[in-house]
Amino acid sequence: MSPGFRLLLSVIPFALLGGCSSNWQSALQAHGGPAISLKQLIILIVAICSVVWALVMVAMIHALWRRRQAWRAPMELIPRRERRMGVIVTGCVGATAVIIAGFTVASFLTTRTISVPGKDDLTIRIRGLQWWWGVEYLGPDPARRFETANEIHIPVQRNVRLVLEGDDVIHSFWVPSLAGKQDLIPGRINEIIVRAEHPGTYRGQCAEFCGLQHAHMGIVVIADTPEDFAKWVDAQRAPAAQASDEAVAAGRDTFMGKPCAGCHTIRGTQAAGTTGPDLTHVGGRAFIAAGLLATTQGSLAAWIADPQTLKPGNNMPLVPLTPDELRAVSAYLASLK
Amino acid sequence: MRSLLSFVCMVMLCGCQREERQLRLDPPTADALDKIALMPNRIGGAPPQVYFALNQPYELNAYNLSQGKRLYTWFGCKSCHGDGQGGIGPSFLDGWWTYGPEAVSIYASIRDGRPHGMPAFKDKMTTEQIWQLAGYVQTIGAYSAKTAAPSRNDEKQTRPAENRAPAAILFNEGPAPVHPDQGPTP
C-alpha cells in the first residue's frame, strides 16, 4: 500500500463526515435558548478535556524522551524523588477532582436554567407513537385547542412548554437545534422547554430506539414570527376545507366510505378516528408519514397505495382502492391545506 | 473436548429462527383471504385454501396476534366486550362462543356484524386487520394454549394473560347451547 493511497483512505471517512452537515438538525447549530446553553456546555467540556488530554500527552512524551538513567538497584528508594512524585500525583488527582466537580456544577446550572417553565408559556402536548407524533395545542380555553401531527409551529423568542406522553413504547423527543432530549414514557408525563430565536424550520427525530421505523420518526418544528403564528393557529383551528371541485368531492366520499375514516380524523366531516394522525390540514404540512415524504399529491397517492413498502411495519394498512379512487382520495387530501 | 462443545453450541445457534413477520399482504392474497365459506346459518365454515397455504398466519403468528391486540383497543372492542370479560357484549373469556369458536366464525362476526348490536366492520377495517383481530379474539377464550402469544399488557391486569389460562379449564361442563343450530358444545 503506497503512502499516498493510505493518506487517501484516511481522508475518505472525514470527507464522508462532511455529508452529515445539515443546518436543520444539529446540536452544533443552536438556534434557541436551551440549545445554545447546551452547546456552550458541550464546548466548555470538550475544550477543558482537550487541554487535559494535551497536557497528559506532553507529559508522557517528555517522560519517554528523558529516560531515567539505568538504576543500579531498581527497588532502591530515594526519599527526595519519592516526595516529589507524591506531590505530583496528589496534585494531578486533586486537579481531576476539581475539574470533574466543576463539570458537575456547570451541568447542573445549565440543566436548571433550561428547564424553568414560565406561567404563560404556550403549552403543546406531544404524543409519541409508533411511528409518528401526535400534537395537541393546549391552552386555558378548551375551545381554542386543536390537534395536528408530525409538525409543530412555535412563535419565535418565546418559551414553549412541551408536555410529552407515550402510548406504546418509549420514544424520545429531540430537536437538537432548539433543545435537549426528553423521553416520552408510557404512563408518565415529561416536560421540555423549547425556544427558537429566529424564524426557520428545524428538524427533530425520535432519539430512543422504538422499533422497525425508528429512523422514520421525524418531526418538523417551524418557528414563525408572532403574526404568522397567530395566522397559522387560526387556520389550524378551522375545520377542513370544503371540496372545491368534483374530483375532490369524490375523494372525500371515498375517504368516508373506506377504512380511512376508521382511524383518521378530519374535523368538519364524519371522519373521527383517533388511531392515526389528524388529517384536517394534512395538505398544508411539509411532510407526510413523519418526515418520510414531502407532501404532494403524488407522494400522498404513493403512500396510500402501498404504505408497507414505503415504511414497513407501520400501522397504516394497505386499503385496496381502484386507480380512480386513489387519484380522488389523494387529490382530496392534498386539497386540505 | 471443550472446543468441540462450543462448536456444537454454535452450530445449534444456527438453528434459531426468528418468527417471520408478514408486514405487507399482497392485495390478491388479501382478496382471497376474504373469500370465506360460511355455513348457511353463518356459523362455522371454512377459511379459503390460501389461509392454510400461509400456515394459519392469524392464529399461529405472534406478530399478527399482537397487532390484533392493538386493533382490539383501537377499534373500540373494549367498550362492549371489556378486556374479554364482556359487558354490553358477550364475554370471550368464558370460552362460550355464541357463533362457534373457529377463527372463520369470528372473522364473519367482525366483518358482517351479528344481531343484537354487533356492528359490521367491513367498511372500517381491511381484510388483514379483521383477520388479525379475529385471531386475537379467539386467543382470549382459547380452549388450548398456543405457542404464539400476543405482546404483554402494559396496563393493570384485569384477567389472566391471553394464552395462559385456556378457557377449557373454566368450561368443564358447558352450558346449554344458546343457539339451536350450533351443534355439540365445543
Retrieve residue A170's grid coordinates: 418509549
One-letter amino acid at A224 equals D
**How much is the ipTM here?**
0.82
Q: Where are the alpha helices (DSSP H) in chain A?
A: 3-18, 33-65, 79-114, 226-237, 246-257, 260-263, 297-305, 307-310, 323-335
Average pLDDT over chain A reads 90
% residues pLDDT > 70 (chain B): 87
Instruction: Give phi and psi for B113, each to the nearest 5.
Output: 80, 170
Report the CATH fold assignment for B27-165: Cytochrome Bc1 Complex; Chain D, domain 2 (1.10.760)
Are A25-66+79-198 and A246-335 in the same CATH fold? yes
pLDDT digits (tens, 9 = 90+) for A86-103: 999 999 999 999 999 999
CATH of domain A246-335: 2.60.40.420
Beta bridge partners of A202: A221
- Residues A34-43 have a mean pLDDT of 93
pLDDT given at position A9: 76
Q: Choose the CATH number for A25-66+79-198 among 2.60.40, 3.40.1350, 3.30.1150, 3.10.260.
A: 2.60.40
| Chain A residue with Cα closest to B75 | A262
How far away is chain B from the Cα of A327, in angstroms, using its nearest Cα? 18
For the stretch A104-157, pLDDT in tens is 999 999 988 887 777 777 899 999 999 999 999 998 888 889 999 999 999 999
Per-residue confidence band for A35, with pLDDT thresholds at 50, 70 and 90:
very high
- Name every chain B residue with its beta carbon within 8 A of the beta carbon of A275: 74-75
User: Does pLDDT of B177 surpass 50?
Assistant: no
pLDDT of residue A19: 59
pLDDT confidence bin for A251, thresholds 50/70/90: very high
Distances (CA, A) of A108 to A35, A117, A118, B170: 15, 16, 19, 57
- Domains of chain A by residue range: 25-66+79-198, 246-335
Q: What are phi and psi of A219, to 5 degrees?
A: -135, 145
Radius of gyration of chain B (CA): 19
Q: A272 and chain B: CB distance < 8 Å anywhere?
A: no
Chain A's closest residue to B73, CA to CA, is A275
Asked if A308 and B21 come within 8 Å (Cβ–Cβ), the reply is no
Contact A313 B21 (CB under 8 A): yes
How distant is the Cα of A273 from the closest Cα of chain B, in angstroms?
Answer: 9
Nearest chain A residue to B127, by CA: A319
